[in-house]
Structure 1
Amino acid sequence: MASAPGVFFSVLVIYTAVVFAIAWWSFRQTHTEADFLVAGRSIGALVGGATLAATQLSSGTVVGTIGFHYLTGVSWAWIWPGMWTGWIVAAVWVAPKLRAFGGVTVPDYIAARFHSEGARVLSAGLIVVAYTVYLSAQYTAGGIIFQALFRWPFFAGVLVVAVITLVYTWLGGMRSSVYTDFAQALVMVFAFCIAVPLLVYRVGGFDLMGRALTGLDPLLTGWYFGLDEVVV
């Protein structure tokens, strides 16, 4: 019988091969700057929506936010209405303006909106800083996962994740990123549909799980706003 790490490693190899195949196909479809940066403006609602979902359900969410849920209890669920509201605002009010503008980057729009090259530089700098932090969280989570599943050194896991993402982004740009995100969304939906019911079953159902968590700490099942944890 195959060991769990062996199965996980086989799945990882297959998934990586699929990602590189998507990257190579995207590379063959990329001919202009707009192809590389905005996928030739060809992404539809289904693929675009799945991409947003996969982006939201990143390592920071699957590892970090779930860990925060474990730390604070169900009250941390109040974060989700705010996040969904942000996505709705972006989809209804922000995205149409950016699409109508016809630029290829957010700094392009900022520079045109404020008639300032300084605004372009400032916004680009802020994006670099923000995404440096964001990507650091993803690579950290990747290192933790590799360490837990395969007993690899933490840095080796970080390096593997970084190299894979660098290669497929460099080859196919936005088209590669979007379609690999689409594949990731399918994998995550499939995984959650199996893992969540199985985990609930293994702990004896929602009722037993709730009583056990309340016994550990009543705050874990109390519907508070979690403000103390956020401030700390």
Structure 2
Amino acid sequence: MDLNTTIVGIYFLFLIAIGWMFRTFTSTTSDYFRGGGSMLWWMVGATAFMTQFSAWTFTGAAGKAYADGFAVAVIFLANAFGYLMNYLYFAPKFRQLRVVTVIEAIRMRFGKFNEQVFTWSGMPNSVISAGIWLNGLAIIASGIFGFDMTTTIVLTGLVVLVMSVTGGSWAVIASDFMQMVIIMAVTVTCAVVAIVQGGGVGEIINNFPTQEGASFVSGNNLNYLSIFGIWAFFIFFKQFSITNNMLNSYRYLAAKDSKNAKKAALLACILMTMGH
């Protein structure tokens, strides 16, 4: 067994251990789904930040940044803008719903029929999305570490399932916080090394290989700058909608109170701004 396999195995065992350790924290439905509504801002902020990450962030987005420069960062700036709106208005309002699950809030607002429509219509999309994420992870693990794709998908799915079922939201949010610490440490370290080795931010921008008529901001293969501007506008609108709607308000239901929900949103905004 090589070092890479050992590290991944230890990390999987660590996730399972988190679920087992937090099993005693879950005694009611509220504890399981939202941590009893008693989590502090730094935990809620970390999980809000991590919900915007997937394997694509480190593969597709990284590849796009390498090829086209700053353009892809618009997506993450839009995420930061969405969290800023959470901080300014929406996060406290979401916490004040005082429900255990988001679906309860939908029932209160739109009635029982719409509750059932939202519940069942969202399941196929959730299953497909999870499958795409796992497949993306398997492709990367196969290319970098040589892991079998099927084994990676099954094993990763089982580990996440065991952790979340045994520990509930406490385990999920605790693991999100640990992942946030690791990601930010790696991101900041890589950024510092890249800036130093590249001779500074200005040198990196000046030496970026762009085609005629292109720029570091808008990227290559773009005939009209206005297209980039329109795309950026609608990306901001899209990400604002994603981070400020009732279905995605679940992250703030776990906060201890409205003040902690607001601080959590600000933390997610800062982390997203730094991390992009």
Normalised by the size of structure 2, how large is the TM-score?
Answer: 0.70
Once superposed, which parts of structure 1, at least 4 consecutive aligned residues long, lie more than 6 Å away? 227-231
CA distance in 1, matches of 2:65, 2:134: 21
1:49 aligns with 2:45: yes
The match for 1:68 is 64
Superposed displacement of residue 48, structure 1: 0.9
Name the CA shift for 1:214/1:149 in 2 (closer, same or farther; >3 Å).
closer
Superposed displacement of residue 91, structure 1: 4.2
1:174 aligns with 2:176: no
Specify every segment of 5 or more residues in structure 2 that has no aligned partner in the other structure, as ranges. 219-224, 235-276
Residue 86 (structure 2) aligned to one of 81, 87, 90:
90
The match for 1:123 is 118
CA distance in 2, matches of 1:126, 1:88: 29
1:226 aligns with 2:221: no
1:148 aligns with 2:143: yes
Preserved contact between residue 72 and residue 219 of structure 1 (Cα < 8 Å): no
Preserved contact between residue 142 and residue 161 of structure 1 (Cα < 8 Å): no
1:23 aligns with 2:25: no
Count matched residues: 226
Name the CA shift for 1:161/1:199 in 2 (closer, same or farther; >3 Å).
farther
Normalised by the size of structure 1, how large is the TM-score?
Answer: 0.82
Superposed displacement of residue 205, structure 1: 5.2
Superposed displacement of residue 227, structure 1: 6.3
Name the CA shift for 1:153/1:15 in 2 (closer, same or farther; >3 Å).
closer
State the SS of the aligned residue for 1:102.
coil
Preserved contact between residue 210 and residue 216 of structure 2 (Cα < 8 Å): no
Q: Pairwise CA RMSD of aligned residues?
A: 2.9
Q: Percent identity?
A: 20
Q: How is 1:25-40 mapped onto 2 (pairs within 5 angstroms)? A: 25-40=21-36
Kindly indicate which of the two structures has a greater share of residues assigned to helix. 1
The match for 1:7 is 3
Preserved contact between residue 146 and residue 152 of structure 1 (Cα < 8 Å): yes
The match for 2:100 is 104
Preserved contact between residue 144 and residue 157 of structure 1 (Cα < 8 Å): no
The match for 2:208 is 213
1:134 aligns with 2:164: no
**Larger RCO (CA within 8 A; separation ≥ 6):** 2
CA distance in 2, matches of 1:161, 1:217: 44
